């Protein structure tokens, strides 16, 4: 049901998810979060808007929820959203990017409930720089949560060699070791160093 991609800045989280989605050729709704989304009404309005970009008519079904000045009935919205997604034909992947910017407990709680009732046709990917404060214990026990952490996104020596080959940069085993030690396999660091070398058409 859920994939958690958790690593510090510069580890290539978003890039990795984008490439994964391209390889799978799945229908994807992408919601890039920011600090202003720490309000339940705002959060769900934009989440449904993202889903509506791939599911025609979805936004219109929830228009009244967001037009009202009254406090949003989150439980009812979650039930309706889960039912609406269940009626949609075909699998859908929803990506919540930069989830570390969300610090409102009510959003964490309601999202965990949404995940509980989310139909099997929906896969949720959460990208975050820090651990995700969602109660997913039952899903984790049943093997329905896939966690991709920083160490998985770090380049190892073989991957560094492959990257150098792709950029037409000559590198000896000692060069690869230097790169690995200097960058600790950090994607952004490797990209910075190797792009300069590629531009200068030199060796390490």
Radius of gyration of the chain (CA): 20
What does the pLDDT read at residue 106? 94
d(CA 68, CA 52): 20
What does the pLDDT read at residue 109? 94
pLDDT digits 0-9 by tens, 48-95: 999 999 999 999 998 887 887 566 678 889 999 999 999 988 899 999
Regions of the chain with pLDDT less than 50: none
What does the pLDDT read at residue 149? 82
Here the tokens at position 92 are 């859908």
């Amino acid at each position: 049901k859920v994939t958690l991609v958790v690593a510090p800045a510069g580890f290539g989280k978003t890039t990795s998810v984008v490439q994964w989605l391209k390889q799978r050729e799945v229908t994807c709704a992408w919601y890039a979060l920011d600090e202003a989304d720490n309000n339940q009404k705002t959060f769900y309005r934009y989440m449904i808007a993202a889903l509506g970009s791939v599911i025609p008519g979805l936004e219109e079904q929830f228009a009244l929820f967001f037009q009202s000045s009254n406090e949003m009935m989150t439980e009812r919205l979650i039930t309706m959203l889960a039912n609406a997604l269940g009626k949609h034909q075909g699998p859908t992947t929803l990506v919540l990017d930069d989830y570390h910017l969300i610090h409102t407990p009510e959003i964490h709680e309601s999202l965990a409930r949404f995940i509980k009732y989310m139909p099997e046709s929906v896969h949720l990917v959460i990208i975050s720089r820090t651990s995700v404060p969602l109660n997913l214990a039952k899903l984790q026990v049943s093997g329905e949560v896939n966690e991709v952490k920083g160490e998985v996104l770090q380049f190892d020596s073989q991957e560094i060699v492959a990257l150098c080959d792709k950029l037409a940069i000559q590198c000896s085993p000692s060069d690869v070791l230097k790169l690995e030690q200097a960058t600790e396999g950090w994607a952004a660091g490797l990209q910075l160093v190797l792009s300069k070398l590629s531009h200068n058409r030199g060796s390490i």
